[in-house]
A = this chain, B = another copy of it.
Amino acid sequence: MIPIVSIVGKSDSGKTTLLEKIVKELRKRGRRVATIKHDAHSFEIDHEGKDSWRHKKAGANITIISSPSKMAMVLDTDHDHTLSELRDEFIRKVDLIITEGYKREGHPKIEVFRRELKRELLCEEDDNLVAIAGDPANPPDGVPVFDLNRPEPLCDFIEARFIKSAKQGLGE
């Protein structure tokens, strides 16, 4: 079963930026990574006027664009998928799934926290909070805190805790 870790935090706390850093670092380490972003609304993807855009617009329930190196699929759904559903139905051949958001689901969470925003931890009381990236004044007992700007130690933690068959040691 592919492990899932969620990057959570208030709006504009820097979730996407941290996720980018983690993905880049894990890919550098030879890991294969899937990411999931929730969108509450009917997002737009693809470019107006392109053939694939016209297919979907005409009413196709599923539209796929396939090339030798990349594939994209847009499909209608009849409900908001849980992370486990997305994993089981759509995701193959990766070592880890990182989500942006999904704080209400029961998967392990890393909270992005910046004191300058003067806010309390979102997941203070959440048993699934496994780490904090940022500078909390009073982190909960037993929850490690990592530097927002240095993804390496956080990725060591993620590899050790979530990716079983680590291909390399965890450094100093």
Contacts and interface: CB of A to CB of B under 8 A. Distances in A.
Interface of A: 16, 19-21, 23-24, 27, 32-47, 51-52, 54-77, 79-81, 86, 90-91, 93-94, 98, 100
30 contacts: A16-B51, A19-B54, A19-B55, A20-B54, A20-B57, A21-B58, A24-B58, A34-B60, A34-B63, A34-B64, A35-B55, A35-B56, A35-B60, A35-B64, A36-B64, A36-B66, A37-B51, A37-B65, A38-B66, A39-B67, A43-B52, A45-B72, A55-B100, A60-B98, A62-B94, A66-B77, A67-B77, A70-B77, A71-B74, A72-B75
A100 B70 contact: no
A45 B47 contact: yes
A166 B75 CA distance: 23
A42 B66 contact: no
Nearest to A16: B51
Nearest to A94: B61
Contacts of A41: 67
A73 B90 contact: yes
Nearest to A73: B73
A161 to B, nearest CB: 20
A90 to B, nearest CB: 6
Nearest to A87: B64
B70 A74 contact: yes
B54 A66 contact: no
A70 B76 contact: yes
B65 A39 contact: yes
A16 B79 CA distance: 29
